[in-house]
């Protein structure tokens, strides 16, 4: 097995001071409605009602595979073109749709009204609609609104907007003197269970997750709360948690064996867990992760990877591919660079990394062609044209839908990058 490159800034602060290429041109991204796909699976008594156009309905139905659910927990209230005078009708219609839905589906305890970008929807005040509907359906369902609009956002921001808006509407938690560790960001249930077990085995008693699986099990949040971000796209949610008194624990993200170790370690240190107790818990799963990644490293090491901006996971993934898969980073593009939340990750990237924020897609395609990477990580819209030019691509969105965090998933994460290369080799043979 090849030795793993030690996860530490090789010299100075890694990429922390590296100039960033800022691009503000044409972009290729999905909108924030996409977040409904993983959020509705996570919060099992919630319903997401998109207030939008037929385009929004098509996007969400085709992306979420509506056919596999007998009773889907998302839908679209289609608002047709109306002038301002028709807004009263719109609100009446929304109230009627919600009443019918809640009568038919008493299992729904949390309703999200999700705004979109058609101009008729932007004219509607969904936050007032949510307040009105919460009053109408008091004690049965809570109603929260947020925007999943595609204007000036990227698709993972839908989750951030949802979680931040929800926090603002929660009733004040009873004051608690017991410290709690809050893991923030949607994780697959299997990953959540593993993380809970590790922290509890270290002796941290109160470990909570946000969003929760059940909308009525919102953890107490206050000055006693230390939170770890499990996803790197939650800037507004983190700001809201801090406004409610919680403290963020800085850490890299739990991708790969080393990222997971540092992330768990940051949580452990915040709760005074000894190094010995920490090692006892993580030693075996960390070794399993290293074994499961080794065969993928054989395919990936020495290869060049180029990231187009899409999911906001790009920087932690680049760190993983460089340190644990020994890949060379050509360009690491991200839609937004949050220097505070990314500080630990940036310090771990090689200082020679070309970092870019935002997009001017034609210029970025030119840079990609000049770099001739072995693997391109990009959105769906760019993948087919790049494949047609002979590049091997990985759809960035798959990395959001697949459980990739933690030790037990580290091999699967590596496999998501090695498989396209193997497929290309087979096609060429
Ligand atoms: S929210 Fe906007 S970008 Fe997203 S599907 Fe609807 S119309 Fe399209």
CA 30 – ligand 1 centroid, Å:
8
What gap in Å lies between CA 102 and CA 201, rounded to an integer?
A: 41
Which helix (H) or strand (E) element contains residue 297?
helix 275-300
The protein residue with its alpha carbon nearest to ligand 1, atom 3, reads 150
Query: What are residue 393's DSSP bridge partners?
Result: 376
Instruction: Tell which atom from ligand 1 comes closest to the C-alpha of 59.
Output: 5
∠ CA 325-338-42, nearest 5°, is 75
Q: Which two tokens stand for residue 161?
A: 């907007």
How do residues 11-54 score in pLDDT, each as one tens digit? 456 887 788 888 888 777 788 999 999 999 999 999 999 999 88
Hey, what are 424's tokens?
């290309």
Residue pair 183/195 in contact (Cβ under 8 Å)? The answer is: yes
Asked if residue 332 has pLDDT above 90, the reply is yes
Residue 53 CB–ligand 1 contact under 6 Å: yes
31 lines ligand 1 (CB under 6 A): yes
Per-residue confidence at 84, pLDDT binned at 50, 70, 90? low
Average pLDDT over residues 277-291: 98
Distance 298 CA to ligand 1 centre (A): 41
pLDDT classification of 82: cutoffs 50, 70, 90: low
Q: Residue 368 pLDDT more than 70?
A: yes
φ, ψ (nearest 5 deg) of residue 379: -75, 170
Residue in 48, 54, 114, 117 to alter for ligand 1 test, most ligand atoms within 8 A of Cβ: 117
Residue (of 233, 166, 252) closest to 29 by Cα position: 233
pLDDT reported for residue 6: 46
* 77 CA distance to ligand 1 middle (Å): 13
Q: Is 33 in the pocket of ligand 1 (CB under 6 A)?
A: yes
Q: Nearest residue CA, atom 5 of ligand 1?
A: 56
- CB environment 334-373: b (16+ within 10 A), e (fewer): bbbbeeebbebbbbbbbbebbbbbbbbbeebbebbeebeb
> How far is ligand 1, taken at its centre, from the CA of residue 55, in Å?
6
Among 342, 333, 339, 345, residue whose Cα is nearest residue 309: 333
pLDDT confidence tier of residue 183, bands split at 50, 70 and 90? very high
User: Which domains are seen in the chain, by residue range?
Assistant: 32-153 (3.40.50.1980), 180-276 (3.40.50.1980)
Sequence-distant (6+) residues with CB within 8 A of 11 are: 351
Edge-to-edge strand list for the sheet holding 46-52 = 74-78, 46-52, 110-115, 142-147
Crossing angle (nearest 10°) for helices 380-388 and 361-371: 40
Preceding amide of 211 cis, omega within 30: yes
Ligand 1 centroid to 368 CA: how many Å?
28
- pLDDT value at 81 more than 70: no
CB of 115 closer than 6 angstroms to any ligand 1 atom: no
pLDDT, position 15: 80
What DSSP designation does 68 have? Answer: G
Ligand 1 pocket residue status of 157, Cβ below 6 Å: no
- DSSP E strand stretches across 230-323: 247-248, 304-307
pTM of the model: 0.92
DSSP state of 255: B
Asked whether residue 3 carries a pLDDT value surpassing 70, the answer given is no
Token readout for 356 is 């870019």
Angle between helices 339-346 and 314-323 (to 10 degrees): 10
Distance between CA 358 and CA 355 in Å, rounded? Answer: 10
Distance (angstroms) between ligand 1 centre and the Cα of 49 equals: 14
Looking at ligand 1, which atom is closest to the CA of residue 148? 1
Q: What mean pLDDT do residues 90-104 have?
A: 91
pLDDT at 38: 92
């Amino acid at each position: 097995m090849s030795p793993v490159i030690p996860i530490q800034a090789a010299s100075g602060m890694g990429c922390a001071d590296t100039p960033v290429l800022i691009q503000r041109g044409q972009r290729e991204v999905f909108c924030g409605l996409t977040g409904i796909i993983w959020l509705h699976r996570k919060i099992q008594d919630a319903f997401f009602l998109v207030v939008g156009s037929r385009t929004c309905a098509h996007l969400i139905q085709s992306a979420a595979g509506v056919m596999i659910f007998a009773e889907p927990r998302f839908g679209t209230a289609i608002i047709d073109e109306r002038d301002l005078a028709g807004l009263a009708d719109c609100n009446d219609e929304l109230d009627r749709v919600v009443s019918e839905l809640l009568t038919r589906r008493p299992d729904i305890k949390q309703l999200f009204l999700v705004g979109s970008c058609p101009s008729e929807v932007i004219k509607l005040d969904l936050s007032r609609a949510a307040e009105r509907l919460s009053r109408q359906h008091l004690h049965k369902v809570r109603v929260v609104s947020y925007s999943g609009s595609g204007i000036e956002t990227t698709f993972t921001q839908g989750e951030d907007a949802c979680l931040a808006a929800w926090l603002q509407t929660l009733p004040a938690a009873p004051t608690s003197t017991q410290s709690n560790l809050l893991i923030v960001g949607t994780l697959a249930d299997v990953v959540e269970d593993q993380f809970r077990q590790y922290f509890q085995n270290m002796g941290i008693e109160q470990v909570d997750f946000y969003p929760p699986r059940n909308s009525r099990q919102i953890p107490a949040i206050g000055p006693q709360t230390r939170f770890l971000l499990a996803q790197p796209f939650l800037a507004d949610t983190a700001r809201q948690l801090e406004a409610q008194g919680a403290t963020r624990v800085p850490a890299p993200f739990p991708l790969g064996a080393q990222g997971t170790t540092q992330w768990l370690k940051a949580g452990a240190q915040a709760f005074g867990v000894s190094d010995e107790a920490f090692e006892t818990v993580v030693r075996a799963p960390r070794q399993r992760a290293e074994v499961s990644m080794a065969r993928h490293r054989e395919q990936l090491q020495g290869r060049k990877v180029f990231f187009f901006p899409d999911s906001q996971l790009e920087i932690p993934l680049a760190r993983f591919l460089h340190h644990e898969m020994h890949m060379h980073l050509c360009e690491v593009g991200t839609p937004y660079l949050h220097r505070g939340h990314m500080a630990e990750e940036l310090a771990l990237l090689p200082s020679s990394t070309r970092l870019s924020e935002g997009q001017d897609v034609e210029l970025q395609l030119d840079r990609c062609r000049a770099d001739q990477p072995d693997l391109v990580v990009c959105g769906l819209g760019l993948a087919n044209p790049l494949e047609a030019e002979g590049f091997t691509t990985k759809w960035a969105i798959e990395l959001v839908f697949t459980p990739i965090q933690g030790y037990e998933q580290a091999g699967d994460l590596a496999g998501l990058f090695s498989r396209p290369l193997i497929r290309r080799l087979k096609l060429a043979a």
